[in-house]
Structure 1
Amino acid sequence: MENGVQTRFQRRIIVLVALLTLFAGVVLVRYGLLALEGPENNRLSAEAPIERGRILDRNGKLLAFDIPKFNLAIRKNEIDPYRISKDLSSVAKSIGLQPESLEQKIRESSQNFVYLAKRLDIDIAKPLQARIEKGELAGFVLEEINGRIYPEGRLASHLIGFTGEGNTGLEGVEFKYDKELSSIGSDKLRGNDVYLTIDARLQYSLEGIARKAFEQNKAESIFILAMDVNSGEVLAYVQMPDFDPNTFASFRESEREDRMSVYSYEPGSVFKIFSMSSILDAGLITPRTKFNCDGAYQKVLPSGEKIIIKDLNSYGMLDLAGILAKSSNAGAGYASDRISDNEFYSRILSFGFTEKTGIGSPGENPGSLREPSKWSARTKPTVAIGQEIRVTALQMITASVAIANGGILLKPNTISRIEDANGNRIYSHEVIAKRRVIAPETSRAIMAAMESAASLEGTGWRAKVPDVRMAVKTGTAQMIDPKTKAYSDTDFIASTLGILPANNPKLAIYVAIVKPKGESYLGGQIAAPVLRDAAEAAIGILGLPREKSLNANHAGIVVIQEPPLASIGANMPDLKGYSKRQLLPLLLRKDIEVQLEGDGYVVAQFPSPGTAVEAGTRIVLRLQ
């Protein structure tokens, strides 16, 4: 009997040990699973969140910065089963959700640590935190994170972009400079500050002008771009419709899309300044060469086929100024007959068309122009008037800079500088000259002809600002109907380009109105007044000079006394007093390194005048 009792006792001990071992195993497995879940799912991270760098305008106005945000979560193993229903009801009311939605999140999650709401504002989170600290909300956890705020709301939203989950950049500068702003891979507690080239004052004013025009013309979209013609810096980046990056998820993707860089279109007659400058620069016409613009461009092919491109009116004999002033399709078409297909193609491409500008969305559209081998007999005169070529608004404003500054295509830019949290500068924008596109005398001739377009005899007179000499070109382009693949009778793009002051160019402004449905669809009637208002705003905000302009009748040829362009020979010249525009040709030199610092006119230089200049010499010019 004693042996039976002893045997039963031993069995009980074995069972107890087995149960204890099983329990220990379960505990170890549970802790292991919790460890595998990581800090995001079972406990608050002990590490302080890295503050994202700020985004500011060129003058230091804050456009984006971080503020504390809070994620609300719950640990299921710490829930009080007798209070959870009441707790969920009160918490749901505090954060503006339904209790059922919170219950569903808890029930459907296989994790112990479940997020109930994310990116709560501090005014919502603070009362909850007080209740948690008092022990009133068993199992509930508030996790502090960094959230993004855009204090100016919609201002420059398509340029700035926005952040999403984890405060990671999703669009715009926030995406493109995510590494710099977040300091990924560094031990810094705050990212770098990014200063944009835009002027927030000008941006705000032009957005107001664009919004009014957008509504008046019942348009699908409207673009306004302003660029410094001597540096390539974008001063305003305006698109309607716009959106508020603080609540970006409530807007449609079409409203958030940066259409100025991803949307390509046939530009219409504004493009004539590029086609005419190409033909003029090739030496195939002069500013005084005249063509018979009797209502249409007409050409009969050897096959007997007739090509006809109509004008709005019959203008008679027109020279360069007259062709641009009247926006004659016939004049541009006949001028294009003088240049070969291949040379015309290469010269158009030299302006930057069919290549990305590098400053737009990651999905930037390069535009398109078929190679000459695929052209029809109609293509060349059609391209000359801005059709059969697709461009973006960014390409148009960038190419116009070469017309304005004496013929040099500059690399456009939207970033002025980048500084670390201590104010140390780690990047500064420098003017980059990509190539010479046209000769200075060609640039002057086109600018003079564009002034005629701004006169009362031209299509761009509505864009003219009193007391400021302006070079203007208007355009109206029929759009392709995606259903019929033919030109639409109802859909147009109205546009106008302005450069000012024409006698000493500082600023280019481009306006495009997509699918206007108001009283008119003509660029000279609806886009030109928008440009005038934008130019007026820019003159006041940027302090551009005005002068008493005398109206005078002339033969269409304006002679502008241009200051000499800078040149460097065997010895360093004295460049004090030279403007940035006069210095641009130096940036094309491959044998020496030229660095421009600041804006305005040269006040200091290195090396000093008279110093021998050899290959590889580094030259620094400080402007003020």
Structure 2
Amino acid sequence: MRRLNAGLLVIAFVLSLFAGRLVQLQGIDSEKYAEAAMDQRLQPIDLPAVRGNITDADGNLLALTQAARGIFVDPTRVEPEKKTEIAARLSSVLGLDVGAVLKALDKKGTEYVPLIHQVPPERAELVLSLGYRGVGTVPESRRSYPADAVAANVIGFVNQDGDGGEGLEYAYNKLLKGVSGWQRVEISPDGQHIPMGEGQVKEPVPGKGLRLTLVQDIQWRAEEEVAAAVKKHKAESGTVLVMTPDGKVLAMASYPSYDPNEYSKANASQLSNRAVGEAFEPGSTGKVITAAALLEEGLVTPETPFDVPDHIWKYKTKFKDSHSHKLWKGLTFGGILAKSSNVGTIMAAENLTDEKMYAYLTAFGFGSRTGVGLPGETAGLFHPPEEWSGTDRYPISYGQTISVNALQMASVYATIANGGVRVTPTLVAGTLDGEGNFTPAEQPSSRRVISEDTAHQLIRMLEGATTQEGTAPQAHIAEYRVAGKTGTADRYVESKKRYDGYTASFVGMAPADDPQLIVQVVLQDPKRGYYGGEVAAPVFKEVMEFALKSRKVAPTGTAAPSLKMFAD
């Protein structure tokens, strides 16, 4: 009986321990252990914000965000004997490296290892249909470019991490991306998200969208024409810009280019936006600034005559025109610009001081970035007068030994077309919120560079370049008056540390009596012809004619005044 009582006492003691433990687990510490159990089932997941759309000026989508899925694995739930099979199947379906998938499946100390992001929903469904334990998906989004390569060098792309990699996607990444949230989701034993399970969430804040000044059909045509010209003339690259006089960029085309939907296939040359990132010597298109300075300072008039030989000596250095010619006796200043005479420009600019020349060049935007807000923009190369050598002022007067980007040069002609007022070039018209409400961008800065009278005189003189007596009759457009200037410059190649090949360009405006559009064409190192009037002017004509009709600009209602080329 004593043994039985002792046994019952021991049993009672043990049961009391069990009871006490149960009281502790289910009563005193119940919340603590419930939280621990939940922590084992809950997994943290980032919730990226929906990235804002990018549209052209008319609302056509150029970049948008679409539904996608992220694929992950839970190594603790993957069946060990199937790891090799799973790695092989997932790598095949998702285009991943087998070794990388195996490494993810073998990772210790975690129940959530992301394999790949931004997978199309149908591909994610295929992964789930394989039926492997420990392989799951989470909601995500991916960037899509419905117009494919159109404006790719301007817009850029979004990388695998959800950040902008180039162009506006990079420059406006914070605004477009929004603010990411997070979620702790309950994961089932087979690795799937339990839709009605316990969870915690911080909702993401969607990004804002951008409405651009670009016009999709004009952008497309500019890209088509520059690509064709580069191939036709065996050039290294090319750019085309279309602007309004008040600085709105309607098209910014670069070639070679790429498809941002498959940006990983592109090289650095294709990804770059040459319209702002490539510096070159403008050549004779830069003569318009010297002309503006001379007219504004009252040193010449369009009818001022000069006796212009085909070469001239300055400080034992020979400067010459692009073609040999007899003495042009009594060639007017307007004729000098129309015939693009280097020698004539040097002679006309003799009374313009270095300081004045520098002041007008900087006022037109040389030596500083345009303010358009694109990444990778170069300010070009332009030194102050105290750093000029004895002969630098002469090639500078006709657009050599200095460098600019294409947008800088196009902006010079936009300033003239705008009556002498320079407006900072703009690409972004404003922003769009999640409801589609539009907020206009701040008005760009502006400043007067030359008088309206000087601008009008320059336009009349530039009309002479598109006549049969000028350097670019191929820029002529039926029913529209055209004013413009050719450029053919020696091309400096940084990698070779020497001049090699040419830069051919043409920039002009139409209708010349009331300018509505400016188009600039630049071809780098063309090998089948290289004069601006020969290879760039025809591209200008095609793009300008299309843009005028697309914008429904009425044909010119007046006849072009005759330019007096020679004095009586």
TM-score (norm 1): 0.77
Number of the residue aligned with 2:538: 529
Q: 1:262 touches 1:392 (CA, 8 Å); kept in 2?
A: yes
Say if 2:271 is the partner of 1:260: no
Tell me the equivalent position of 1:515: 525
Equivalent residues in 2 for 1:260-409 (5 A)?
260-299=275-314, 301=315, 305-314=316-325, 316-317=328-329, 318-409=331-422
Instruction: Say if 1:495 and 1:527, in contact at 8 Å, map to a contact too.
Output: yes
Q: Which amino acid aligns with 1:143?
A: V
Separation (CA, whole Å) in 2 of partners of 1:512 and 1:452:
21
Q: Which residue of 2 aligns with 1:544?
A: 553
Structure 2 unmatched runs, 5+: 1-13, 15-31, 182-202
Given the alignment, which residue of 139, 145, 151 partners 2:146? 151
Separation in structure 2 between the aligned mates of residue 328 and residue 530 of structure 1, nearest angstrom:
23
**Alignment of 1:127 onto 2:126:** yes
Aligned 1:164-243 pairs, distance under 5 A: 164-184=159-179, 189-229=205-245, 231-243=246-258
Partner in structure 2 of residue 87 of structure 1: 86
Q: Deviations over 1:328-348 (max 9, x none)?
A: 001111112110111111111
Query: CA–CA distance in 2 between the matches of 1:97 and 1:397?
Result: 46
The answer to whether the 8 A contact 1:337-1:381 is kept is no
CA separation in 1, counterparts of 2:63 and 2:101? 32
Q: Measured at CA, do residues 190 and 330 of structure 1 come closer, stay the same or move farther in structure 2, by a change above 3 Å?
A: same
Task: Kindly state the Cα deviation for residue 454 of structure 1 after the two structures are TM-superposed.
Answer: 0.5
Moved more, 355-364 or 410-419: 355-364
Give 1:440 deviation, angstroms: 1.0
CA distance in 2, matches of 1:252, 1:417: 31
Equivalent runs, 1:572-611 vs 2, <5 Å: none
The 3 A distance-change label for structure 1 pair 96 and 169 is: closer
> 1: CA distance between counterparts of 2:496 and 2:139?
55
The residue identity in structure 2 corresponding to 1:475 is G
Distance 1:110 1:372 in 2: 67
The answer to whether the Cα contact below 8 Å between 2:491 and 2:502 also exists between their aligned partners in 1 is: yes
Deviation of the 1:266 alpha carbon: 0.7
Offset at residue 112 of structure 1 (A): 4.5
Distance in 2 (alpha carbons) for counterparts of 1:214 and 1:485: 24
AA aligned opposite 2:385: P
Change (3 A) 1:108 1:456: farther
Asked whether the 8 Å contact 2:50–2:178 carries over to 1, the reply is no
- Residue 419 of structure 2 aligns to which amino acid in structure 1? G
8 Å contact kept, 1:327–1:459? yes
SS at match of 2:526: coil
SS in 2 for 1:524: helix
Distance 2:108 2:63 in 1: 35
Deviations 1:423-476 (A, max 9, x none): 33333453x352111111111111111100000111111111111000010010
1:98 Cα deviation from its structure 2 partner: 5.5
CA distance, structure 1, for counterparts of residue 172 and residue 446 of structure 2: 23
- Say which is worse superposed, 309-318 or 340-349, in terms of deviation: 309-318
Could you list the runs of 5+ residues in structure 1 that have no partner in the other structure?
1-12, 14-27, 558-624
What amino acid is the match of 1:125?
A
SS at match of 1:82: helix
RMSD after superposition: 3.1
Aligned to 1:504: 514
Matched residue type, 2:390: A
Q: Structure 1 residue 414 and structure 2 residue 427: aligned?
A: yes
1:38, 1:224 → 2: CA distance? 57
Residues 247 and 423, structure 2, Cα contact 8 Å, conserved in 1? yes
CA distance in 1, matches of 2:296, 2:108: 70
Aligned to 1:566: none
The answer (yes or no) to whether the contact 1:168–1:175 under 8 Å persists in 2 is yes
Q: Per-residue displacement from partner, 1:471-502 (whole Å, max 9, x unpaired)? A: 010010111244764433xx111000010000
Match of 1:160 in 2: 155
Secondary structure at the aligned position of 1:163 is classed as: coil
Opposite residue 199 of structure 1, the aligned amino acid is V
Q: Which residue type is aligned with residue 180 of structure 1?
A: L
Match of 1:581 in 2: none
Question: How many residue pairs are counted as aligned between the two chains?
Answer: 519
Tell me, in whole angstroms, the C-alpha distance in 1 between the residues paired with 2:563 and 2:279: 38
Asked if structure 1 preserves the Cα contact closer than 8 Å seen for 2:57 and 2:214, the reply is: yes
The answer (yes or no) to whether the contact 1:264–1:392 under 8 Å persists in 2 is yes
Give the conservation status (yes or no) of the 8 Å contact 2:171–2:373: no
Contact 2:180 2:205 in 1 (8 A): no
- Matches of 1:551 and 1:435, distance apart in 2: 29
Secondary structure of 2:113's aligned partner: strand
Q: State how far apart, in whole Å, the 1-side matches of 2:375 and 2:418 are.
A: 28
SS in 1 for 2:76: helix
The one of the two structures with greater contact order (alpha-carbon pairs below 8 A, sep at least 6) is 2
Q: Distance in 2 between matches of 1:363 and 1:553?
A: 43
Letter in 2 for 1:540: K
The 8 Å contact of residues 195 and 417 in structure 1, kept in 2 or not, is answered as yes
Matches within 5 A, 1:108-119: 111-119=110-118
CA contact (8 A) 2:283 2:400 kept: yes
Structure 2 length as normaliser, TM-score? 0.85
Do the aligned partners of 1:415 and 1:429 also contact (CA within 8 Å) in 2? no
Instruction: Give CA-to-partner distance per residue, 1:500-523, whole Å, 9 cap, x none.
Output: 000001111000001112x20111
Q: Report what 2:185 is aligned to.
A: none
Q: CA deviation at 1:290?
A: 1.7
Question: How far, CA to CA, are the matches of 1:546 and 1:183 in structure 2?
Answer: 46
- Tell me the CA shift for residue 162 of structure 1: 1.0
Deviation at 1:88, TM superposition (A): 3.0
Match of 2:211, SS state, is strand
Q: Shift of the alpha carbon at 1:538?
A: 0.6
